[in-house]
Chains A and B, each alone.
Chain A
Amino acid sequence: MGTLELDGVTKVFPDGDGEIVAVDDVDIEMRDGEFLVVVGPSGCGKSTTLRMVAGLETISSGEIRLAGKTINDVKPQHRDIAMVFQSYALYPHMTVRENMAFGLEESTDLSDDAIDERVTDAAGTMGISELLDRKPSDLSGGQRQRVALGRAIVRDPEVFLMDEPLSNLDAKLRSEMRTELQRLQDELDVTTMYVTHDQTEAMTMGDRIAILNAGELQQVATPLECYHEPANRFVAGFIGDPSMNFFDVRRDGETLVGDAFDYPLSASTLDDVGDVTDLTLGVRPEDVSLAGDATGEHTFSTVVDVVEPMGDENTVYLRFEDAPEGDTFIATVGGLQQVSAGDEITIEIPEETIHLFDGNSGEAVHNREIDE
């Protein structure tokens, strides 16, 4: 049914005499009914990828298949795809009802009564029944968002494409709509490709996440896999907030030697590392824990630089005793822990929580252990 496959999809834009590769050889396979979130920093090619699926951009090379059929040369109006835009792109001169009916009138042979029935149904699903006779200019941002979604679901397409649909909403409304979108997608069970730069949306909404950087696909995996078993340093740094701490280290025998600390490794970790010597040590802020005294081999003395209280937890900027001023890393500790700037505290970085990346390629060589 609604399986969507991207096979070696590449987009090259001409730029003066040269060219810019916006999307580079991306392979993604989406199951029918899957919710895939495409995430990455701005300019990473995620929107271009989505627009190629929609048919709004041509494909430089590669193939896009929908339900097994190649759709490279199918015009957007014949692709049976509905898209929700960041700006909602409602038709300002039409009422909500006309906005929602437009797609059905243009793409199907349904009778007026049948169209009206489907519009009413979809409006009920989206909770906008009482707005049907209003113009978009009379609606709030959240209501417009619902109309834009309603306009997509009324078509009952093979695939939904969503281009940062929540980014114009305020924070509270955004988290509400996030939950609602998930519920809706679950209910309708339509294959959905969702583009965002917000890693919270990516983590909470998607069945799987596809992470793009500079046009290249970094990893496609479930949110928890991306979080705990990142394929490379980019994914590790992109997913998670506050983001993972990285330290450039050199392996010297069985010890990692950093600028301000030494970190001994166990035999099993050393097996993963192999003969790589330039490494990056990564540890998530929540895995940095306070220790009573600096007696263990993975405990370090640090100085507190800044504390940002968040209520439930404190984000603490720490500096190794030997490290230069301003060279800090982040730990999150419980909200009731009394920590203040200038304190000298001892922390522990447990070995089962560390990630190690190849210092040159950035590929992960060792990921943290997960208790099954």
Chain B
Amino acid sequence: MSDDARTDGGTVSETSAGASDGALSGVDGYRVLLYLGLLGMLAFFLIPIESGLVTSFKTSSGVTGSLPFAPPTGATFTLGKWQAAFDALGRGLVNSALYAIPATVISALLGSFAAYGITQSDWKPKYKAPILALFVAGIFIPYQAVLVPLSQFWSMVPLEESLGFLWSLGINDDYVGIVELIVTHVAYGLPICTVLFRSYYKNMSEEMIEAARLDGASIRRIYRRIVLPLSGPMFAVVLIYQFTQIWNDLLFTLVLVQTESSAAAPIVLILAGLGTSLEGQDFALRMAGAFIAALPTLAVYIAFGEEFAEGVAT
């Protein structure tokens, strides 16, 4: 404690001594430029977010009557747009969560299994390499290229018929789109999850795995008791990444659920049409909606932030 105090005291007296040396001679031109540059970049990145936030609290006349980044004044301030956006997006939030959470968890788990198989199992490398190559190739397939095959595939699979018991329970059969989204996102997320986990497992101590083998654990038990508990940081990375990807994806929802009038419409579909009408755009409503749609991804970042930093560092 006393050490801290002394260090702090030292720094303070040093800087004050430097400042009192002469107001002009102490100024370092390079530093001034550096800080000006940094401030400029900060403003550049923050102004769009700030503008969106203040706009979402303005009345329609407030939006047209003031600069985008100016905060709302007394008369133009309203919480009504947030209320309206929440009313419109509420069911979309639930629908999105219904497929984004399972798809994220399943793709992360399967990616972890697959990566464990192609790193720690004692298959010969010549068998592992082609499988890894397939996974890597999967990462580079653009979504746009698979949209048509994807919709054809789902029109051939009799998913709706085979899930008949769900609809007989009173669930709207539009929700078959949610199931399709889960399977599709798991399939397209699996390659990147596998590759991320693979690099993590490659760095895991080989001797530790060997010690577990000699301790009598089977390959499945080693995963359960050693590898999985140690995968926390990489799960944070993959969960955040996958959740953001799946939550924000519009393309697959357009193909598989198609309309915002569907009972199963995800938030991105509803958001796309929110505040747009023949009379023009309701910018405040759109901004409020965008922030509501972004909240879950933000929550996931905050929840796994610490592990995320650890996972990215390794």
* Chain A residues engaging chain B, CB cutoff 8 angstroms: 54-56, 75-79, 81-83, 85-87, 89-93, 102-103, 106-108, 151, 155
* Chain B hits for A79, CB < 8 A: 214
B216 touches A103 (CB 8 A): yes
B215 touches A155 (CB 8 A): yes
CB of B202 within 8 A of chain A?
no
Q: Please, what's the 1-or-0 string for B206-220, where 1 marks a CB less than 8 Å from any CB in chain A? A: 011011111111100
Cα of A151 to Cα of B229 in the assembled complex, Å: 20
A80 closest partner in B (C-beta): B216
A107 touches B215 (CB 8 A): yes
B211 touches A76 (CB 8 A): no
B217 touches A106 (CB 8 A): yes
With A86-B207, A106-B221 known to touch, is A91 a contact of B214 (CB < 8 Å)? no
Cα of A102 to Cα of B212 in the assembled complex, Å: 8
* Chain B hits for A106, CB < 8 A: 212, 215-217, 221
Cα of A81 to Cα of B215 in the assembled complex, Å: 8
With A102-B225, A106-B221 known to touch, is A77 a contact of B207 (CB < 8 Å)? no
What are 8 A-B residue pairs whose CB atoms fall within 8 Å in the complex? Answer: A76-B210, A77-B213, A77-B214, A87-B208, A90-B208, A92-B230, A93-B230, A102-B212
B229 closest partner in A (C-beta): A93
With A92-B230, A93-B230 known to touch, is A87 a contact of B205 (CB < 8 Å)? yes
Main secondary structure of the interface of B (DSSP, over half): helix
A91 touches B208 (CB 8 A): yes
With A85-B211, A89-B210, A91-B208 known to touch, is A77 a contact of B230 (CB < 8 Å)? no
* Chain A hits for B207, CB < 8 A: 85-87, 89
Cα of A81 to Cα of B218 in the assembled complex, Å: 15
* Chain B hits for A103, CB < 8 A: 214-216
**Chain A's nearest CB lies how many Å from the CB of B205?**
6
**Chain A's nearest CB lies how many Å from the CB of B52?**
42
A89 touches B216 (CB 8 A): no
**Chain A's nearest CB lies how many Å from the CB of B121?**
13
**Chain B's nearest CB lies how many Å from the CB of A4?**
15
* Chain A hits for B212, CB < 8 A: 91, 102, 106
**Chain B's nearest CB lies how many Å from the CB of A150?**
13
Considering the complex of A and B, which 8 residue pairs feature the smallest CB-CB distances, nearest first?
Answer: A107-B216, A103-B215, A89-B207, A89-B211, A106-B216, A106-B217, A85-B207, A89-B208
* Chain B hits for A55, CB < 8 A: 213-214
* Chain B hits for A85, CB < 8 A: 207, 210-211
B215 touches A56 (CB 8 A): no
Cα of A272 to Cα of B100 in the assembled complex, Å: 85
Cα of A308 to Cα of B225 in the assembled complex, Å: 54
CB of B171 within 8 A of chain A?
no
Give the residues from 198 to 240 in chain B that come closer than 8 angstroms, CB to CB, to chain A: 205, 207-208, 210-218, 221, 225-226, 229-230
Cα of A108 to Cα of B225 in the assembled complex, Å: 16
Known: A76-B210, A76-B214. 18 other contacts (CB 8 A): A55-B214, A56-B213, A76-B213, A77-B213, A81-B214, A83-B210, A86-B207, A87-B208, A89-B207, A89-B208, A89-B210, A89-B211, A90-B211, A93-B229, A93-B230, A102-B212, A102-B217, A106-B217
* Chain A hits for B210, CB < 8 A: 54, 56, 76, 83, 85, 89
* Chain B hits for A102, CB < 8 A: 212, 215, 217, 225
* Chain B hits for A76, CB < 8 A: 210, 213-214
Give the residues from 8 to 29 in chain B that come closer than 8 angstroms, CB to CB, to chain A: none
**Chain B's nearest CB lies how many Å from the CB of A161?**
8
**Chain A's nearest CB lies how many Å from the CB of B220?**
11
* Chain B hits for A90, CB < 8 A: 208, 211
B206 closest partner in A (C-beta): A89
**Chain A's nearest CB lies how many Å from the CB of B211?**
4
A101 closest partner in B (C-beta): B215
Cα of A10 to Cα of B273 in the assembled complex, Å: 72
A51 closest partner in B (C-beta): B210
* Chain B hits for A78, CB < 8 A: 216
* Chain A hits for B226, CB < 8 A: 91
A77 touches B208 (CB 8 A): no
**Chain A's nearest CB lies how many Å from the CB of B183?**
33
**Chain B's nearest CB lies how many Å from the CB of A122?**
14
**Chain A's nearest CB lies how many Å from the CB of B108?**
19
**Chain B's nearest CB lies how many Å from the CB of A308?**
37
Cα of A284 to Cα of B211 in the assembled complex, Å: 41
Cα of A327 to Cα of B307 in the assembled complex, Å: 60
Q: Which of B207, B211, B214 has the most CB of A within 10 A?
A: B214
Cα of A75 to Cα of B214 in the assembled complex, Å: 9
Cα of A87 to Cα of B204 in the assembled complex, Å: 13
Cα of A75 to Cα of B210 in the assembled complex, Å: 12
Cα of A54 to Cα of B216 in the assembled complex, Å: 12
Among the listed B214, B225, B230, which residue makes an inter-chain contact with A83, where contact means beta carbons less than 8 Å apart? B214
Q: Which of A54, A78, A89, A93 has the most CB of B within 10 A?
A: A89
**Chain B's nearest CB lies how many Å from the CB of A144?**
12
A91 closest partner in B (C-beta): B226
A56 closest partner in B (C-beta): B210
* Chain A hits for B230, CB < 8 A: 92-93
B217 touches A89 (CB 8 A): no
* Chain B hits for A54, CB < 8 A: 210, 214
Cα of A87 to Cα of B212 in the assembled complex, Å: 14
A54 closest partner in B (C-beta): B214
**Chain A's nearest CB lies how many Å from the CB of B120?**
13
**Chain B's nearest CB lies how many Å from the CB of A103?**
4
* Chain B hits for A87, CB < 8 A: 205, 207-208
Cα of A81 to Cα of B221 in the assembled complex, Å: 18
Cα of A346 to Cα of B216 in the assembled complex, Å: 63
Cα of A239 to Cα of B230 in the assembled complex, Å: 43
Cα of A76 to Cα of B214 in the assembled complex, Å: 5
**Chain B's nearest CB lies how many Å from the CB of A148?**
8
